[in-house]
Amino acid sequence: MSVIDTIKEQIESNAILLYMKGTPRFPQCGFSSKSSEALMACGEKFAFVNILENQEIRSELPKYANWPTFPQLWINGELVGGCDIICELAESGELDTLVKAAAEADDSAASE
């Protein structure tokens, strides 16, 4: 499987996915830390990929996403954005709405 296929599969199989440096419990950069904190505050489970452990994803994802930086938040297969956008959405309450809707839809699909 190619790196792009792996990325597509990760995005398609996770309703809420954060590509970040480190993990939510041990972020390895300030932007990843802020982003994962904003997501965790929504109270829903989310998947993450530590791009520091996978150099190929780290180099290919920005080209695939047409987004040069990390973290990257994907909800329902759509790129939401990076740290600044995640934090703006969190402040306005939109992130909570987006995340809860995606988690609810994912739970419904899983129970069918």
pTM for this predicted structure: 0.94
83 annotated ligand-binding residue: yes
Task: Name all domains of the chain by residue range, CATH numbers in brackets.
Answer: 3-111 (3.40.30.10)
31 annotated ligand-binding residue: no
Distance in angstroms (rounded) separating the CA atoms of residues 14 and 17? 6
87 annotated ligand-binding residue: no
107 annotated ligand-binding residue: no
- pLDDT, averaged across the chain: 95
CA distances from 59 to 27, 39, 69, 76, 96 (A): 19, 24, 10, 22, 30
Task: Tell me the mean pLDDT in the region 31-57.
Answer: 97
